[in-house]
């Protein structure tokens, strides 16, 4: 049997402790699968005295994760610290430069510095594995990087944040407000005390930028993503979507066009009959559209200690199975130096159209003014519905428009014109309608 694979873990929070525990509990099974033992030989965290529910007495303690990363007594450095800079970046860089394989769950780090880190790994002939960084326990990275050879990807999209999906699911199922659902998500541990990173779409954007690079062979471009969160979604939107045969999901979407690559994160209406609409609660799902395979949908637990730990351990096991002299595949599907510069696509017609909700004063000329603004911007309407506003039925109306294919720019110009006309009571709501399998 080959020598044991020695693992150093930096970060012993929920995920790190779960990784250490599962490696101990499943030691015999992993040895059978990998052909060698996997042992945790060193660890690093902020507090050495904290009880993490796992026996780490046999592991050497390091106060500084960079020192751990450089230690000659480990073969694999597992980074579970988090954050795109600071200790996470310094320790991963140190490990790669020292010739250590790296496993990380850090989407923020990869989104910002992934290409640079991939270049170091490929130059040293070592592995940088990151399955847990996108969609938790769903093996989407391995699928795209290894199992889809020969396929040309045209679009990748999905539900990439369990917190947002949980909130939207509860809002629809129980008629609760966004604020009430968020508080409950925080109570249950699905949302952080400061949930901004999740609910405003940043977490989804980081994951999408990594998937985009894998899908299209481009450099990671986290700053070239249209970004909109779910904090402005109301029960009025949820009810209107249901009446029209849609369900609201926060989607990350990346697709290839004739002018470049389009990346966007925003609330989206998807047909209730579509598969992606059936993904509820904290579950994640990723759909990949290709020329050979067609559409593939991967769904499963997207977060949590066990789901993320499962992906981390899968990455460690892959390293354990590799042997000296084996030529590892590139980190992002093609060598880092051959990744294309990211070219942002020009604004184009959105195939699914738009949902527009307006709360207006109930007075003569309002409906005609709205229709005029749509016509001025050459927006064709699929349907238009108006009814009394629940809060002030005597003086206000709710107008719901569903457009045919049109551009984002045209919709924004039309809405800006309606706002300028002075007929609105509240801020208008605009939600894309997405073609979804």
| Beta pairing partners, 7 | 40, 76
- Quick check: is 60 catalytic? no
Active-site residue, from 60, 107, 142, 207 = 207
Which residue, chain included where needed, has tokens 């471009």? 221
Distance CA 269, CA 354 (A): 9
Task: Give the tokens for residue 407.
Answer: 């551009």
Distance CA 177, CA 337 (A): 48
CB neighbour class for 63 (10 Å; exposed up to 12, middle 13-18, buried from 19): exposed
Task: Give the tokens for residue 46.
Answer: 């902020």
Which residue, chain included where needed, has tokens 């003086």? 395
For the chain, what is the radius of gyration of the CA atoms? 24
Task: Give the tokens for residue 334.
Answer: 């093609």
Distance CA 153, CA 255 (A): 8
Distance CA 7, CA 287 (A): 33
φ/ψ of 420, rounded to 5, equals -65, -30
Closest CA to 308 of 134, 85, 65: 134
Active site amino acids: 207
């Amino acid at each position: 049997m080959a020598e044991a694979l020695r693992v150093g873990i930096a970060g012993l929070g929920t995920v790190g402790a779960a990784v250490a525990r599962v490696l101990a509990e499943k030691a015999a099974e992993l040895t059978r699968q990998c052909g060698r033992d996997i042992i945790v030989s060193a660890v690093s965290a902020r507090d050495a005295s904290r009880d993490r529910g796992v026996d780490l007495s046999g592991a050497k303690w390091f106060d500084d994760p960079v020192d751990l990363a450089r230690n000659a007594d480990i073969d694999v450095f597992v980074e579970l610290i988090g954050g795109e800079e600071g200790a996470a970046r310094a320790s991963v860089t140190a490990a790669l430069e020292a010739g250590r394989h790296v496993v990380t769950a850090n989407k923020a780090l990869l989104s910002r510095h992934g290409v640079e880190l991939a270049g170091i790994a490929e130059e040293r002939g070592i592995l940088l594995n990151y399955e847990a960084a996108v969609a938790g326990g769903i093996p989407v990275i391995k699928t795209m990087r290894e199992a889809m050879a020969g396929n040309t990807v045209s679009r990748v999209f999905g539900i990439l944040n369990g917190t947002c999906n949980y909130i939207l699911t509860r809002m629809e199922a129980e008629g609760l407000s966004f604020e009430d659902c968020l508080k409950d998500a925080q109570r249950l541990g699905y949302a952080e005390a400061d949930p901004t990173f999740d609910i405003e779409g940043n977490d989804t954007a980081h994951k999408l930028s990594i998937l985009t690079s894998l899908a299209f062979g481009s450099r990671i471009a986290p700053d070239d993503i249209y970004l909109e969160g779910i904090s402005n979604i109301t029960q009025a939107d949820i009810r209107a979507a249901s009446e029209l045969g849609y369900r609201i999901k926060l989607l990350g979407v990346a697709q290839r066009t004739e002018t470049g690559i389009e990346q966007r994160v925003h609330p989206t209406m998807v047909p209730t009959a579509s598969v992606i609409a059936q993904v509820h609660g904290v579950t994640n799902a990723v759909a990949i559209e290709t020329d050979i395979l067609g559409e593939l949908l991967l769904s499963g637990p997207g977060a949590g200690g066990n789901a993320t730990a499962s992906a981390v351990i899968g990455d460690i096991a892959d390293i354990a199975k590799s042997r000296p002299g084996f030529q590892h595949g590139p980190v992002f599907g093609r060598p880092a130096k051959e990744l294309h510069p990211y070219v942002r696509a020009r604004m184009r017609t959105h195939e699914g159209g738009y949902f527009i909700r307006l709360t207006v004063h109930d007075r003569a000329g309002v409906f005609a003014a709205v229709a005029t603004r749509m016509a001025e911007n050459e927006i064709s309407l699929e349907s238009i519905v108006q009814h009394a506003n629940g809060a002030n039925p005597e003086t206000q109306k709710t107008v719901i428009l569903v457009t045919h294919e049109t551009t984002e720019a045209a919709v924004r110009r039309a809405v800006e014109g309606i706002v300028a006309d002075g007929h609105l009571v509240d801020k208008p709501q605009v939600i894309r309608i997405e073609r979804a399998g």
